Chains A and B, each alone.
Chain A
Amino acid sequence: MAHTGVLRPGFIQLRVLDMLAAVEHYSKRIGLHQVSEEADGRVYLKSADEFDHHSFVLRRADTAGFDLMAFKVRTDADLDAFEQRIVAYGYPVDHVPAGEQPGIGRRIGWTLASGHRIELFAHAEQSDPKPSAHNPDVWITEPHGMRARRFDHALLYGPEIEKNLEFFETVLDFRCAERLDMPDGVLAIWLTAGMKAHDIAFVKYPEPGKFHHASFELENWNDVGHAADIIARYDISIDIGPTRHGITRGQTIYFFDPSGNRNEVFTGGYTYYPDHPTRTWDHEQVGKAIFYYEREMNEAFLSVVT
């Protein structure tokens, strides 16, 4: 397998208004497990189907939204190589020491043209619960809630996403699996470091650093239906779905956490190989691109962010 450099999304850190409500939402409803709560108040969570220490970080604040997203790279040497390339591209890089987050090695970080902080790290301790690696059962810890299998990707909103596209392709070796073009330029890009249809995506938006959603992968369409039952049973604020995206083909629900940060649970999506062409959508099919069954964007898609 030729998968080198950036492997996958490692974790995302979000701001929440009410930590108790947030922890209940992500643990009981989404189905994550709390790994730890640290002295500064941040809470670290993971799916039982993930090996690494955590994939989701909550920080109490008086605003909701996005703090940072970190990708895991294959080796420690990758960190140094990427730092050189990022600096050569023109972005200042800072260093976060090992242990700033529990179980995570040293990180490098910088800010994109869209205003988002991105980080890379190479080392993570594993934590329980985690999958078995010997004669492995399908799960060791029984799935609960929406049965999220992993933090999968995020969609971020900000200006100058053409620069993000160039940066991710030329500096981090991502590929653009899919894009949405308007007459006046690109509106949105879906970027992948591997064979998923997306690991991170951006939509053009005037305000920098905004957050559209963090997405959790489910096993199948039946689990998407089960997630919809949970959303109704616990009166979780719904945005749209269950439905399907034309882009990525993912079957999806959008809803909100107790601080108004949008979540997605989804399943499916095509496999991307690096020799595949970038799939493109034009403005006349924008509705189908975003919500394949409704064939129109809901008003919230381009306006409701944290």
Chain B
Amino acid sequence: MQGNTARKWPDPRKRKGAMTDLLPTAGRNGDSTSTTLGRCFGGCAESCPLAGLGRCSGGTSAAPETPATARRVTVTIEGHGSASVSTEERLLVALERARGLGQITGLPRKLPVGCRRGGCGICRAQVIAGDYRRAPMSREHVSLSDEAEGVVLTCAIYAQSDLMLRLDARLPARRNCDGND
């Protein structure tokens, strides 16, 4: 709390401290990754009252960069074109970019974009073929039996191979709903 050390802040992108070592390496394409609990996460290193308790990490951690293992794969929306996407980016985010580039055409409705983080269920779709990695998504929108049939929230999967996607298979769960879904 003295704050008089005139310390030079480290470049967060180069910082390799205790906290960054705790960060999981699973890519989230730039959104916040996790760190440990029970601590102050700061930006507050010199003034944080928790520093004296050894509970302040201080400083700012790096946003993860695109891992060297990222590959490009092709995602095809059944009947509506295809897009080149990275294996380390959220599929919906890649599709938003592809839509902007005019690579996805003739959708029966607007590309459904909501929270982009697996919570709201707007981007519910079905993977017809291909491999993908899942991030957390709400069970309210993808049940266990849905999951077995390849139903996903496209914002919460990462394509790991070429992928075939059906955007409007028994979907969406809640748009224009009657309250019974």
Contact = CB atoms under 8 A, between A and B. Distances in A.
A128 interface: yes
A67 to B, nearest CB: 14
A63 B139 contact: yes
A28 B41 contact: yes
A19 B122 contact: no
Contacts of A113: none
Of the four ranges (under 10, 10 to 19, 20 to 34, 35 or more), the interface on chain B belongs to 35 or more
A63 B37 CA distance: 21
Interface stretch (B47-55, B70-78, B157-165): B47-55
Which of B115, B137, B139 has the most A CB atoms < 10 Å from its CB? B115
Contacts of A37: 37-38
Given A28-B43, A29-B32, A206-B177, A260 B118 contact: yes
A271 to B, nearest CB: 32
A153 B114 CA distance: 22
Contact of A19 (B30, B32, B37, B115): B37
Interface in B53-76: 60-61, 63
B94 interface: no
B74 to A, nearest CB: 23
Contact of A206 (B49, B118, B140, B178): B178
A233 B34 CA distance: 16
Contacts of A299: 110
A64 B118 CA distance: 8
Interface stretch (A141-149, A170-178, A179-187, A287-295): A141-149
Interface in A95-120: none
Contacts of B115: 237, 239, 256, 260-262, 304, 306
A23 interface: yes
B112 to A, nearest CB: 9
Contacts of B20: none
Interface in A261-282: 261-262
Interface in B91-116: 110, 113-116
B25 interface: no
Contacts of B40: 27, 33-34
A300 B42 CA distance: 32
A217 interface: no
B84 interface: no
A27 B34 contact: no
A144 B136 contact: no
Of the four ranges (under 10, 10 to 19, 20 to 34, 35 or more), the interface on chain A belongs to 35 or more
A24 B122 contact: no
A223 interface: no
Interface string B15-34: 00000000010001111111
Nearest to B139: A62
A27 B114 contact: no
A235 B81 CA distance: 27
A260 B121 CA distance: 9
B174 interface: yes
B138 A34 contact: no
Nearest to A21: B34
Contacts of B3: 142
B133 interface: no
27 contacts: A17-B137, A21-B34, A23-B41, A24-B34, A24-B35, A25-B32, A37-B37, A64-B118, A64-B138, A128-B50, A129-B50, A140-B1, A140-B49, A142-B48, A235-B30, A237-B117, A256-B115, A256-B116, A258-B117, A259-B136, A259-B138, A260-B115, A300-B114, A303-B122, A304-B114, A304-B115, A304-B120
Given A140-B49, A234-B30, A260-B114, 18 more contacts: A33-B40, A34-B37, A34-B41, A63-B139, A141-B47, A142-B47, A144-B43, A144-B44, A145-B43, A206-B177, A206-B179, A234-B63, A235-B30, A236-B32, A239-B115, A300-B113, A305-B120, A306-B115
Interface of A: 17-21, 23-25, 27-29, 31, 33-34, 37, 43, 62-65, 128-129, 140-142, 144-145, 159, 206-207, 233-237, 239, 256-262, 299-300, 303-306
In the A-B complex, the 3 residue pairs with the smallest Cβ-Cβ separation, listed nearest first, are A260-B119, A20-B34, A235-B30
